[in-house]
A and B are shown apart, each in its own frame.
Chain A
Amino acid sequence: MPVVTLAEIDATARKAARGHGCPWGLAEEAGKSARWLASHGLPGAEALADMLRERAQCCTVSGSPCALRLCAAMADRVGMSGEEPVGGDMAGHPLLVLAQMGRTADALDRSFALEWEEGSATVSRHAVSIGGTFAASSMVCSPTADTGGECIPLPGSRPVEERAWVALRDLSHRTLVPASAASRTGAGAGTSDND
């Protein structure tokens, strides 16, 4: 399995989502979520690759809203003053929801409880605790006073599943422009660079 850094997971996931057709803002969320999951020892690159593999193209082009888009919308609403839970069909990708809310908890120093049929999780600033299994297709998120406390993030490199990594790399390649003589010349010094 390839061993990669968190920065590489972030960048490759972001470009893969973009290469798949996601708008830049959602591609950024994809990168950060894959990184967040990996930093907590969870399969972030794999979760994103799974989701992208299921869809021929981005949901902004056709199909129902994807998990990335839905959980971004969920996170966008956490500033609402009430304690009302929010949730919905996360299209079978609960890890991406967990990551989105985990990142939100980190940034805003808040805690959220996530509940689904086979399990539950609590995310708070730089901590997450998970019970049960991830097999759910719908999730409910509510603010909580609980602060989790397990599974703190670790910054080191980590192995990722080869198939997922290759898939993300292939998709990310779609953001690159083939080289041409003109582009090569235009990027360099106007004069000699060997003096």
Chain B
Amino acid sequence: MDGAFCRVGGSHPSAVMAGWREDGETLWNRTLQPFGRSGIAVGTSPGDAVGVGPDTRRTAALLHDTGFHAVIASMEPRTDTSATVPLRDPDTVMRLARMGSSHQTRLSFMRALLRSLKRENWRFDRPVWSVDAQGVGHAVYRAIGPRHTYSLVAFAHDLPDDMRSDRVIATAWDATFALFDGTPTEADIARLSANVPRQEAGRISDRELSLSRANRSVRLWSHVVERLAAGEQPDAERIEAVGYLMRTTAVYGSGKFGAADRAVLAGRGVMGAPFHAEMLAVWLIRSFSLDLVEHMARVGGGKSAARIAPPLRRRLGIGNSTGLGMAPFLVNHPALLNAWITARETAIARVRGLPHAPAKARTIFARRLARARENAAGWRSDHPVQIPRIDALRADLARLAAHVEAGALDHAGPWDALVRWSETALSPEGQEQLASLVLEPHGALVDDLVATMAIDESESFPIDGTLPVAALRTLIERHYAWAIAIDHAPAERCARFWYVSEEKLEPRLGRRHDEPGVEREEPLDISRAVCALRDALAGEADDTLLADFLLRRPEHRHVVRRVQIAAQRPYSEIRDNLIDADMLPIDMLRCKLAFFGASRFDPRSDRWVRICLYRDAPFPDELADAPEDDWA
């Protein structure tokens, strides 16, 4: 079919679109005149060919997700790489140590969210500010989109210092929040004021999309208040060292404690993407933390109080403390994990397949590399695992800069060559940082993949019981060789067990051989369970139907489901023993937090990590005029 075509839809008088030639080689952009109202654009030569190529779903996603005017207009002829550079091997990507080296990328949810808010011209205001001289009261921050409005309802409290804790088991906080669906009335705020400050002990409704809380940074808060009250700016070095005025300690969404179920958000455009509602709440909480600190400075300093200078203000993100609660999510959502990793790996592969690095791409890459070096230079941690990793990253980035300076991007297939070079030249931290950096100049080529990161997990849930047992054995051998290779018999290979505590339902990790509760273990011992399934199948006839096996042996049902999911989704499993004595839960936390867009990972133990979110990001009142997605 020489005359490729694409249905562009909508009422645009013309559409700028990406297209693939039928041989799948070249990605073009052209301005097309749709024919009539149906919007079918037709091209008859490679230069005109658009739309339907080897991957029509990708074309559709581009059109649907990006509002094609802005994005595709900047695209240059490229090679579509999906067929030429394979995705990285799951045996490399899905190891815990590798996942624990994850960095934020263009696809991270915070960045994708701010891109969408900007493109859709969202407006922001603060219709309510009712906070007294003690810093107690409430405020409302609105995000007003083309179809929906969401409001952060913030409650500020006067918390004695000795009650401040980031743990889930805390019962009071400096500030508490709900993200409301629409503009809240006074009655809504009254209802929320009776419940939101109590967090898990209260109850919200499906008018709310998230429930969260934050504590002040003891290191920074008073210092900033005092300096501003005296009409002075806070110390820049102290701001650099901490990076935030408040840190959130939990952000609940997805139907928890009465909040709207994820299905409520499914048809809500930008908010339908994973964790976008939670990330919106956190972004608005950042604004609240700045407003509150300046309010307290005005209380102390009156009219002579200063406001934080814009450059310093930008350096303040919002902190977050995360414990084990986040880790089981990645294991309990295998198809979703696969979607996230596949999106990232597909983006990397597309870039690696590009034939050349044009000047503009080099400039952007160099700028983002310099920013990554600056970020690594300021990254602090006292954790014995993380300190050498950060040191290695700094050395890696210096080596990378020198390599690029020496002409690494001058040759054909430059991005692929660079990634290949990193596999032996850099540490995993450096390799993953590079994998993120190569995406930076190529938003037009990869940003559409965000649309693939929200999936309907129920579609992967049914078990195909018509499979003969022999076929299941083959799937296990093929996709779980990493699990079969583990001998779980030694005590240290099954030293841990995951459980949920009675205390606020906090997920925890116990010592199997000397802590009570192992009979209530959560099913996160994937490698061991796969081995048990394999042993059970060994006693079955080859042609036994899986349905018959499962009727007799239902204790293997959850693992059979995982195997069938993994057979179709190569990045669905973390390929390590999650009950091993040496397993580091922070590796799982970091992977998920990197998908959120976090930076400055600072482990406080093997199962507890502090991060910074939205550092350097524009504030709501700056978003419209800020360059698109040029802050991370």
Contacts and interface: CB of A to CB of B under 8 A. Distances in A.
Contact of A25 (B169, B262, B502, B557): B557
B262 A188 contact: no
A145 interface: no
A29 B459 CA distance: 13
Interface of B: 161, 164-169, 205-206, 215, 217-219, 254-256, 258-264, 266, 321, 323-324, 382, 458-466, 499-503, 505-506, 508-510, 515-517, 520, 523, 545-547, 550-551, 554-561, 604-608
B167 A193 contact: yes
Contacts of B461: 28, 32, 103, 107
Contact of B206 (A24, A153, A157): A157
Interface stretch (A75-83, A111-119, A134-142): A75-83
Contacts of B167: 187-189, 193
A8 B510 contact: no
Interface in A172-195: 173-180, 182-184, 186-191, 193-195
A25 B604 contact: no
A5 interface: yes
A73 interface: yes
A178 B523 CA distance: 18
A104 to B, nearest CB: 5
Given A7-B261, A175-B500, A194-B218, A187 B517 contact: no
Nearest to B605: A190
A5 B554 contact: no
Interface string A146-183: 00000001011100000000000000011111111011
Contacts of A103: 458, 461-462
Contact of A4 (B254, B258, B260): B258
B323 A188 contact: yes
A87 interface: no
A7 B432 CA distance: 34
B543 to A, nearest CB: 14
B499 A26 contact: no
A50 interface: no
A28 B561 contact: yes
A5 B502 contact: no
16 contacts: A3-B205, A6-B255, A22-B554, A72-B557, A73-B465, A75-B462, A80-B466, A108-B462, A155-B266, A156-B206, A183-B510, A184-B501, A186-B508, A187-B167, A189-B604, A190-B606
Contacts of B219: 195
Interface in A1-59: 3-8, 22-26, 28-29, 32, 39
Interface centre among A32, A107, A108, A155 (most CB of B within 10 A): A155
Contacts of A179: 501-503
Given A75-B462, A183-B501, A177 B520 contact: yes
A119 B508 CA distance: 47
A176 B264 CA distance: 29
Interface residues of A, number: 55
A23 B557 contact: yes
Given A73-B547, A177-B500, A195-B218, A187 B509 contact: yes
Contacts of A5: 206, 255-256, 258-261
B501 A177 contact: yes
A26 B553 CA distance: 11
Nearest to B256: A7
Contact of B550 (A8, A72, A79, A183): A72
A76 B461 CA distance: 11
Interface centre among B547, B556, B607 (most CB of A within 10 A): B547
A153 B605 CA distance: 44
A173 B323 CA distance: 22
Interface of A: 3-8, 22-26, 28-29, 32, 39, 60, 65, 69, 72-73, 75-80, 103-104, 106-108, 153, 155-157, 173-180, 182-184, 186-191, 193-195
Contacts of A60: 554-555
Interface centre among B261, B323, B461, B464 (most CB of A within 10 A): B261
A195 to B, nearest CB: 5
Contact of A107 (B462, B466, B608): B462
A30 to B, nearest CB: 11
A25 B556 contact: yes
Contacts of B510: 177, 183, 186
A3 B608 contact: no
A183 B459 CA distance: 37
Given A5-B261, A155-B266, A187 B508 contact: yes
B466 A106 contact: no
Contacts of A39: 263
Contacts of B515: 180, 182-183
Given A26-B557, A177-B499, A177-B516, 10 more contacts: A6-B261, A7-B256, A7-B262, A76-B546, A107-B460, A107-B461, A176-B501, A177-B501, A179-B503, A187-B324
Interface centre among A8, A77, A173 (most CB of B within 10 A): A77
A58 to B, nearest CB: 9
Contacts of B382: 191
B321 A23 contact: no
B258 A176 contact: no
A107 B502 CA distance: 34
A128 B263 CA distance: 18
Contacts of B258: 3-5, 8, 157
Contacts of A77: 465-466, 545, 547
B558 A187 contact: no
Contacts of A183: 501, 508, 510, 515, 517
Nearest to A4: B258
A30 B133 CA distance: 52
A25 B459 CA distance: 16
B121 to A, nearest CB: 28
B340 to A, nearest CB: 20
A120 B42 CA distance: 49
Nearest to A177: B517
Given A77-B466, A193-B165, A186 B509 contact: yes
A106 B546 CA distance: 22
A27 B263 CA distance: 21
Nearest to B555: A23
B462 A104 contact: yes
B516 A79 contact: no
